[in-house]
Chain A
Amino acid sequence: MAGASLRSVEAPGGRFDPRRLRREFPIFERNPGLVFLDSGASAQKPCSVIDGIAEFYRTDYANVHRGVYKLSGRSTDRFEAAREKTRAFLNAADEREIVFVRGATEAINLVAQSWGPAHMRAGDEIVISDVEHHSNIVPWQMLRDRLGLKLVVAPTDDTGEFDLAAFEALLSPRTRLVAVTHISNVTGATLPVARIVELAHAVGAKVLVDGCQAVPRMPVDVRALGCDFYVFSGHKAYGPTGTGVLYGRYDLLESMPPWQGGGGMILNVEIDHTEFQEPPHRFEAGTPDIAGVVGLGLALDFIEGIGRDAIRDHEEALTGYAVDRVSRIPGVKMVPGGQRQLSVFSFNIDGVHPHDVGTVLDQHGVAVRVGHHCAQPLMEKLGLAGTVRASLGVYNDEADIDRLAEAIGACREMFQR
């Protein structure tokens, strides 16, 4: 079903065509004229995901890993098929390395609460970057306070590029973990993750990568990156809310105690003792978001149906067009996104607060995010109260960017009168 609908997406000659792709997303039909530039916060959902979830409930739904009846078996097969799809999507070695969680935030908290205390003690250090989302800062602050760790911040330079030399200088044998984003949700800068992993591994540290912004728009190969943990949220990847993935190298997952107890994560329970399941089930206590995970699998099918190289090429070109177009508007100041900026860009308009910009843009049908983007430490570093952030999805094209530019012009007129 998904394959058939996706073939229609391609224009003659197989060229990527966002206009036709947009028809896969009912939100645009129901909201004519909407220019949606907030996929970095959450992507819209294609029919294959929306209808696929409903169809799953109608046809194959029952609790998983429980029933002896056929229907439960089918439901379990669909659920576990999504795990295999996710494995293939990330090129993980083994599907047991894929843990389903509620989102990237939960995945990071899982690692912090389970791996953290088992492998770190007072005086050990965690290195994060200065462009992290709050979800990749706060769990580590909490762990720091609990275990007496040190949280070290690796800087990006004035061009928005991650400073590898400064990072390397911060590493030491005390560094136990490096937790960095793959693509900044504020600047769109792509971090040199493979090199970060090499340097971190050289001092014996493990590496967790926040892939929320990368997974929907570029090929991700966890084995090529060499990272130890990789996390992402389903809802930013055209999938349903409430779904997310923790990839962890199997030997690491095996070394980690459960973080939540309950059904589904046990082998045997006696009243005073419990034997736990092997990963990934050890970390999936309780009935999971079964339909959500099935929907996440459909979302990954959707992305693969278009092709991640094609998506990256399209969004890279569109990012270049957008940054060029918007930065030429007098009074607009861009936040630099480094040499490899992808799909996300932030800016301010002289003398106009981002919140006011957001209201004017909304009035012109352009949906962007304004504020601190859950990255207050980065705002502090940039000396900004907030920014206006636009982020791209497969349905965006140059006409959307032109509409954004026009709305920015209208905004300047409004506030310069």
Chain B
Amino acid sequence: MMDLRELYQDIILDHGRHPRNFHALEHPTHLARGHNPLCGDRIIVYLAVEGERIADVSFEGRGCAISTAAASLMTEVVKGKTIAEARALFAQFHATVTGGGAEELPEALQEDAERLEPLTGVKAYPVRVKCATLPWHAFEAALKSGLAGGTVKTE
């Protein structure tokens, strides 16, 4: 049996209790809702995209420690990145937690991928993987739908 502290690492609990970038953006260019019907968790991800660059990103909502920390860490790593870089980070993270494959990340993004490392403990808890990926799916939906405000569901 895996030690639960591998899942609930200090950094996860910290981001879960004190999420960063936890507010609405005043002038978003993109937003989307994420919804986990299983537990009723809801999240809204806001983006301010300038050209190809994610100038600002934030989120609101309520969720478990895993999904809140995942959203918080996501906003920290994608802020300032290009859309392509952010998507590459998502692909890498998704592959890690679901056991799939992804292209190797460029050297410049390795450090950001490492910042997401504490979340990868969810891969030992298959029913919780979607908690960690929900904010990223909402992020992706926001990129696709602009201000139309898409909704993604985990199921």
A residues neighboring B (CB under 8 Å): 351-356, 359-360, 363, 370-372, 376, 379, 385-386, 414-415, 417
Contacts and interface: CB of A to CB of B under 8 A. Distances in A.
B4 interface: yes
B1 interface: yes
Contacts of B125: 359
Given A385-B62, A415-B65, A355 B41 contact: yes
A355 B4 contact: no
A134 to B, nearest CB: 11
Interface of B: 1, 4-5, 7-8, 10, 13, 17, 38-41, 62-66, 125, 128, 131
A372 to B, nearest CB: 5
A355 B39 contact: yes
A414 B12 CA distance: 12
Nearest to A410: B4
A359 B13 contact: no
Ranked 7 nearest A-B pairs via Cβ: A353-B64, A355-B64, A371-B39, A372-B40, A355-B39, A356-B65, A356-B64
Given A359-B125, A415-B8, A370 B66 contact: no
Nearest to B63: A353
B4 A385 contact: no
Contacts, number: 48
Contacts of A385: 39-41, 62-63
A376 B35 CA distance: 14
Given A355-B64, A385-B62, A363 B39 contact: no
A417 B131 CA distance: 22
A385 B7 CA distance: 22
Given A415-B8, A415-B13, 11 more contacts: A353-B63, A353-B64, A355-B39, A355-B64, A355-B128, A355-B131, A370-B39, A371-B39, A385-B40, A385-B41, A385-B63
Nearest to B10: A417
B40 A386 contact: yes
B38 A371 contact: yes
A291 to B, nearest CB: 30
17 contacts: A351-B17, A352-B65, A353-B63, A354-B64, A355-B39, A355-B131, A356-B8, A356-B64, A356-B66, A359-B7, A363-B4, A371-B40, A372-B40, A379-B40, A385-B39, A385-B62, A415-B13
A186 to B, nearest CB: 13
A355 B41 CA distance: 10
Contacts of A372: 39-40
Given A353-B65, A355-B64, A356-B64, A386 B8 contact: no
A130 to B, nearest CB: 17
A353 B63 CA distance: 7
A176 B66 CA distance: 47
A98 B39 CA distance: 35
A412 B2 CA distance: 19
A368 to B, nearest CB: 13
B4 A359 contact: yes
Contacts of B128: 355, 359
Contacts of A363: 1, 4
Q: Which of B8, B66, B125, B131 has the most CB of A within 10 A?
A: B8
Contact of B40 (A376, A415, A417): A376
Contacts of A415: 8, 13, 65
Nearest to A371: B39
Contacts of B8: 356, 414-415
Nearest to A352: B65
Nearest to B42: A385
Nearest to A376: B40
A354 B65 CA distance: 10
Nearest to B13: A415
Contacts of B7: 359
B63 A414 contact: no
Contacts of B10: 417
B3 to A, nearest CB: 9
A412 to B, nearest CB: 12
Contacts of A352: 65
Contacts of B131: 355
A360 B39 contact: no
A42 B145 CA distance: 40
Given A355-B131, A371-B40, A360 B65 contact: no
A261 to B, nearest CB: 32
A352 B16 CA distance: 10
Contacts of B65: 352-353, 356, 415
A415 B40 CA distance: 21
Nearest to B62: A385
Nearest to B7: A359
A342 B39 CA distance: 24
A197 B42 CA distance: 39
A417 B125 CA distance: 22
